[in-house]
Structure 1
Amino acid sequence: MKVLVATEKPFAAAAVDGIRQETEAAGNELVLLEKYTEKAQLLEAVKDADALIIRSDKVDAEVLEAAKQLKIVVRAGAGFDNVDLAAATAKKVVVENTPGQNSNAVAELVFGMLVYAVRNFYNGKAGTELLGKKLGILAFGNVGRNVARIAKGFGMDVYAYDAYCPAEVIESAGVHAVANQEELFELCDVVSLHIPATPETKQSINYDLVGKMRKGGILANTARKDVIDEPGLIKLMQERPDLKYVTDIKPDADAEFAQLEGRYFSTPKKMGAQTQEANINAGIAAAKQITAFFKDGCTKFQVNK
């Protein structure tokens, strides 16, 4: 079987070595398409691929149509909204992600941004501390659990809400479970977002919801850009100079947010999983999942069931 690794932003060399070792040990062929600059290059490369490993690369209906032999796509990372799931299902292509492999990297970035925010973005003026503050985690998956773990080390009081995670599971992790996301925003000084971009969540972090936050509140978004109602959040922050917003996903309205001087920060690009460890972990996990798929038909991490 031919396994294609198609990455505009390549994996680290150690990750590629691990992917190659796993792939070839299973008797499969590895082909690399790195730093490609045109979609046509991807369309050509997928023509005879049986499996595809990607990062943030887009796999749409056109790519799937070109990939006549494709049986499985693995997105090395947790999010998979860069893959057209409906088109993949129609082509009988299995789509998987690699949940948990970059969770600690994302969680650590959350706290890097939070410390930066409470210290007034290091502008030389006195800031505040995270110790004793109430942290709300919206969605208690792999990243959310790592955020909770780190928050306890900072001495924060941790709360969480997840529509799909039972309250007793949240409580068993030493975290306070709340009844809904409105309660989470009302209770907490800081809210960290870890929800996927779905029809239910898109634009859901809006004027009314964030407006429930306590004075001096901080919103951190390392989830997806689409979950934020950007015009609503800008309007709220203009009305409430006590609020801050930090994110590793540059908003469409970045210029407008930037006018909120001293209260907004965005990394230049998506940075949550950008560590050597996460890069290696996710790449090798993707290769192992492809090996298991071809060997045993394992689809444990399939997201388009």
Structure 2
Amino acid sequence: MISLSNKPRSLFLIAEQSFKAIYNADALNAVTTLTNNDGQIYAAEDIMATPQAFADVEIIFSGWGSPVLDGALLDALPALKAFFYGAGSVRNFVTDAFWERNILLTSAYKANAVPVADFTMASVIFALKRAWTRCQRLKEGIAPDYRRDVHGVYHGSRVGVISLGAIGQLVCQRLKDLELDVFAYDPFANAQLFESLQVTRIDRLEDLFASCDVVSLHAPWLPQTENLVTGPMLESMPERGTFINTSRGAIVDEPAMLQVLRTRPDLFAVLDVVQDEKTYHTNPLGALANVFITPHVAGSQGNECHRMGALAVEECRRYLSGEPQVTALTRESAERLA
């Protein structure tokens, strides 16, 4: 156990904009209580320019905009023992050189999962109430149908969840509180996880789409998951079904989805992501009446980002107190993160 009476030195290695978004005043106060931190923001160039000034840094707090942790940068930080990342995936900055040094790494991906699960839950409720479709009809001057052709939010309405990672698990927990019939597909999850979440296991993704009124995608974007969701799967959905994607656009065959939604106007899609996120405003999906599209906003926004900073600080407290980490990552688990 590390004594708090002899506080280790820490620093913030992060883009300035991300620092302001993730670490609020409470987090900064906690960091200075736990560690010797000057409250300044550093870039890799600062460390590389005067490595002798950072030779005693034991802890780093970071987030979006972290520099790549290559051998040269790590050589300039010989005392580094823990890297607390106040955001999600670490894939873009962690290297073999980092793993070889046996440095503790944590991520705040579980904190970022919370707003995504909230967004999904709201989307499921709106889908089962057909809220977007009814709004569009009213704008077109069509008299309201009230209770006709609506699934409703209760037993008998079937919701499917793809992947039981941090987000998928939270979604399942929230959906059970709504007394819905929840099903899930995840070939890598064990039976105990399905049982603990009280959801029904579906072994074939095709069967999930064919049997559920709403299907929500939460799989990570990996080479093996690209185009995982196909046109025939979407085409097989029951009448007035809804597909929700808050994961990544590359996991869906987008041209096929566009064609299905054009030929099946009874289906609806809630898309927070597309394959090319530079084309949100010109993507033909956005022109369809049966699509609700948002520009990647389901994840942490505004004050929600502070939850990630708070988790990074909590991970530091646990590290200094000798307690188990919430989200310690290994090379293998980091590669599976979205």
TM-score (norm 2): 0.72
Tell me what 1:2 maps to: 10
Contact 1:52 1:73 in 2 (8 A): yes
Q: Is the partner of 1:246 in helix, strand or coil?
A: strand
Q: CA deviation at 1:222?
A: 1.7
Aligned to 2:203: 179
Q: CA deviation at 1:99?
A: 4.1
- Could you tell me which amino acid in structure 1 is paired with residue 238 of structure 2? R
Query: Which of the residues 185, 189, 207 maps onto 2:213?
Result: 189
Report the equivalent of 2:313.
287
Cα distance in 1 for residues equivalent to 2:250 and 2:63:
19
In the alignment, the residues of structure 2 paired with residue 80 and residue 185 of structure 1 have an alpha-carbon distance, to the nearest angstrom, of: 31
Quick one: which of 121, 124, 131 aligns to 1:119?
Answer: 131
Give the superposition deviation at 1:246: 1.3
Aligned twin of 1:128: 150
Matched, 1:96 2:97: no
- Cα distance 1:230–1:71, how it changes in 2: closer, same or farther (>3 A)? farther
Tell whether the 8 Å contact from 1:207 to 1:236 is kept in structure 2 after alignment: yes
Q: CA deviation at 1:134?
A: 0.8
- Structure 1 position 200 matched with structure 2 position 224: yes
Which residue pairs with 1:264 in the alignment?
291
Q: Deviations over 1:89-145 (max 9, x none)?
A: 367655421243243322121133344452125222647344232100111233223
Counterpart residue type for residue 249 of structure 1? V
Which of the numbers 257, 263, 267 marks the counterpart of 1:243? 267
Displacement over 6 Å in runs of 4+: none
Structure 1 distance, partners of 2:241, 2:229, is 14
User: Which residue of 1 is the match for residue 86 of structure 2?
Assistant: 76
CA-atom RMSD in angstroms: 3.3
Q: Provide Cα deviations, 1:228-286, integer angstroms capped at 9, x if missing partner.
A: 2322322332333332221333541532344542222222343322263x433321211
Q: What's the % identity of the aligned pairs?
A: 21
**How many angstroms apart in 1 are the aligned matches of 2:311 and 2:241?**
37
Shift in alpha-carbon separation, 1:284–1:119, aligned structure 2, 3 A: same
Equivalent of 2:180, from 139, 142, 156? 156
Greater C-alpha Rg: 2
Partner Cα distance (2:152, 2:65) in 1? 36
Residues 78 and 162 of structure 1, relative CA distance in 2, 3 Å threshold: farther
Partners of 1:215 and 1:59 in 2: CA distance: 48
* 1:147 to 2:159 alignment: no
- Cα deviation for residue 155 of structure 1 reads 3.7
Report the alpha carbon displacement of residue 186 of structure 1 after superposing the two structures with TM: 1.9
CA distance in 2, matches of 1:89, 1:248: 33
Q: Point out where structure 2 has 5 or more consecutive residues left out of the alignment.
A: 1-8, 49-53, 333-338
Q: Deviations over 1:29-66 (max 9, x none)?
A: 15454xxxxxxx8443554465443444354467x744
Tell me, in whole angstroms, the C-alpha distance in 1 between the residues paired with 2:284 and 2:84.
34
Distance 1:297 1:175, change over 3 A: closer
8 Å CA contact 1:140, 1:162 repeated in 2: yes
Aligned-residue offset at 1:24: 1.9
User: Contact (CA 8 Å) 2:21, 2:305: kept in 1 or not?
Assistant: yes
Code of the aligned partner of 1:128: V
SS of the residue aligned with 2:110?
coil
